[in-house]
Structure 1
Amino acid sequence: MRLITIYLTLLLFLNKIVAQQFEIADQLNTTHHKISFSETLNANYTSVDTKVRDYGAKYNSSNELAEQILKDFTLKKERIRALYTWICLNIHYDMDALTNKQTEISFSYTSKADFNSKIEAVNSNIITTTLQSKKAICEGYALTFKRVSEYLGIPCVLIGGFTKGKASDINNPTLTENHAWNAVKIDKKWYLIDTTWGAGYFNGNRWVSQFDDFYFFTDPKQFALTHYPTEKEWLLREDNLTKKQFYNTPIYKKSFFLNKMKLISPNFGLLKVATGDHISFLINKIPENTHLFYAYEGDKYSKKVELNCNNSQCNFAIPFKKNRDSVLYLFLNQQPILEFFVENKR
């Protein structure tokens, strides 16, 4: 007989924006880009979301929720969308669990089958607690999504891996997984889904519940800029992106993708710059009636970027006047789009 102790480590994995950035954003009349149903939802799912909003939070078991979805929707994509929307609207991030940091679970087992059975019991308990309390961390979100997907007859996997959401993560890989998400298979194709990130965001030490459909069927190329799976096959990309490359890229914010932007250079998130030098950038042409702003960590106000544009691209340079390492934030109007860590070449 063997004894195993499992540590369920609760790590902060969503984008926690530093206090200085919120001050800068306040000057731009926002602290976070607000996402409304009418603003970003794919029109194909509007009726699904409307129906699911009427469900409320009454479902306390996986099979009850699955039965309701099966009753109301026929197409697999509509069913999985209904599940995504319900979880994002009704499961809230468990800040108490985050504060407690770690839960220890110990059990003995006599065989691989016995081990798997007890792990399944642990997972089932997490799912039950998630649905009854309407609170979870990423593991609870992803396990619940997987369980209900299975009741819906849709293949689903739980993916463990790494996320980066702030400049201090750049070039600083962690050895321990810090997030969990899902992939579902519909019509012979796999789709990536993150219900935790779709349910809201952190504002300082406070969780703000806010539905966001960006993390439903996210483009794998975009998803891989913020999520890196332990098993590389779940990148769902043809290129061979490494974990080191993942951590070396800048911090991409959702608004960067929503505005169809492309960063041509620099390609690295860590920039080594001497005081008094300029940092050169090349991007695709930004949307009409928008402006680019920048600010460094600790700045009270952002500054407008002067762009030099041709038909398809824009270049610009940002001065570096700090005498220490800093974080560079780029904004499109009021929306944060990119972060870089700037190392002072003393």
Structure 2
Amino acid sequence: MKRFYAVIIGLSFALVSFGQYETIDTYVKTITFKKSDGIPEIAAKITAKSNTDKEKLRAIFAWIAHNIEYDVRSFMTGRIPKSEPMDVVQSGKGVCQGYANLFEAMSQAVGIEAYVVSGFSKGYGYSDRKRLDNSDHAWNAVNLSGEWYLLDPTWGAGHLNEKGKYVSSMQEKYFLAKPAFFVTEHLPEDPAFQMLPCPITPEEFLKDSTEVFKIAKNKKACYSYVDTLNSYSKLDSVLQKVATAMRMYRYYPENTYMPAILINQAAYHYSVNLNDTKLDLKTKMELARKSLKYYQMAENIIKKNRKPEGRQLYDMVKKNISNVERFIDFYKDK
């Protein structure tokens, strides 16, 4: 009886949610665009009938679900398709990175703070694992006046059936999803984006989804993810990379590739202008020292990664360190 009751409750929620946005869901199916329209113009038209930020998010979510088809060929062959927002719109296809990038870009275009979240998933082809390897999925998080929400525009648009054929069907459960449910299938590399009172561990995520849900629902508070994410949102984009990378690494030290990538990107932000003739030497030296600090952080994280992509990243980071050290040595006494 309890199981039946739970099913009825879930169904009722889905029906209420659908009814709440029925007008918007219908409207987005009628929109046409000019060839010259970019993401800002497209997003403005999609959300033209929306009165609140949640309605804007729903309009974007529904439009993507009805207009972007999952690129099954790329997924099956391992080919990485173009994932920039306009590429996804123009092709009408994408994989998870493209869906998430597009959702982020459209949300930001209408004034909503949105992020792409990378992590591990229990999607098509998932089988029981004993450990997590590389992250394999991307989705979104949004901030509405200090309240944080999770969405998956890829899984929200449809799914692959047992034969590997894409079935287009908008899924309510991935729109403004409940964190305890969402984490049964999505484990973000950055634990703050679990949006739970206390993050579940990678080992707990590998359990059966029913068990994961119970664990997530019964977690007692050990920190405030709201405070963490609100502080994160106030950082500039470079320091956001560093903050999320360090949370990733502390949470799951075996996961070294993405944290090192993000910190290497932060370092590059400071080093890229070292040859800019418009900058004075003092400014350049400050940039060089900042970049060196972050390149060395990236080196310490990635140095034990023995996978081919890890070795390649390590070699690149070492080369970057060498270049910046030479710059500092050359100009330090001038």
TM-score range, shorter chain: 0.5 to 0.7
User: Match of 1:101, as an amino acid?
Assistant: G
Is the Cα–Cα contact under 8 Å of residues 165 and 251 in structure 1 kept in the other structure?
Answer: no
Matches within 5 A, 1:160-171: 160-165=118-123, 169-171=127-129
Matches within 5 A, 1:120-159: 126-159=84-117
Matches within 5 A, 1:29-178: 39=15, 41-55=17-31, 61-103=38-80, 126-165=84-123, 169-178=127-136
Give the number of the structure whose residues are more often strand, by fraction: 1
Residue 243 of structure 2: aligned partner:
none
Q: Distance in 1 between matches of 2:211 and 2:153?
A: 19
Q: Secondary structure at the residue paired with 1:83?
A: helix
Is the Cα–Cα contact under 8 Å of residues 63 and 148 in structure 1 kept in the other structure?
Answer: yes
Q: Distance in 2 between matches of 1:252 and 1:51?
A: 39
Q: Secondary structure at the residue paired with 1:72?
A: coil
How well do the aligned residues superpose, as a CA RMSD in angstroms?
A: 3.1
Shift of 1:171: 3.7
Residue 147 of structure 2: aligned partner:
189
Structure 2 unaligned residues grouped into runs of 5+ = 1-10, 219-334
TM-score, structure 2 as length reference: 0.55
Q: Secondary structure at the residue paired with 1:71?
A: coil
Q: Distance in 2 between matches of 1:193 and 1:247?
A: 21
2:187 is equivalent to residue 228 of structure 1: yes
Q: Distance in 2 between matches of 1:231 and 1:143?
A: 17
Count of aligned positions:
203
TM-score, structure 1 as length reference: 0.53
Is the Cα–Cα contact under 8 Å of residues 192 and 199 in structure 2 kept in the other structure?
Answer: no
User: Match of 1:98, as an amino acid?
Assistant: F
Structure 1 unaligned residues grouped into runs of 5+ = 1-34, 105-121, 254-261, 268-346
Distance verdict in 2 for CA 1:138–1:40, change over 3 Å: farther
Distance verdict in 2 for CA 1:100–1:61, change over 3 Å: farther
CA distances 1:233-290 after superposition (whole Å, capped 9, x unpaired): 000001231011101234689xxxxxxxx879xx9xxxxxxxxxxxxxxxxxxxxxxx
Is the Cα–Cα contact under 8 Å of residues 201 and 209 in structure 1 kept in the other structure?
Answer: yes
Shift of 1:99: 3.1
CA distances 1:103-141 after superposition (whole Å, capped 9, x unpaired): 49xxxxxxxxxxxxxxxxx86xx2221000100000000
CA distances 1:38-92 after superposition (whole Å, capped 9, x unpaired): 9574322111112112226878631222121343222111111100000011100
Give the number of the structure whose residues are more often helix, by fraction: 2
Q: Secondary structure at the residue paired with 2:140?
A: strand
2:181 is equivalent to residue 205 of structure 1: no
User: Match of 2:190, as an amino acid?
Assistant: E
% of aligned pairs identical?
Answer: 30
Q: Distance in 2 between matches of 1:189 and 1:45?
A: 20
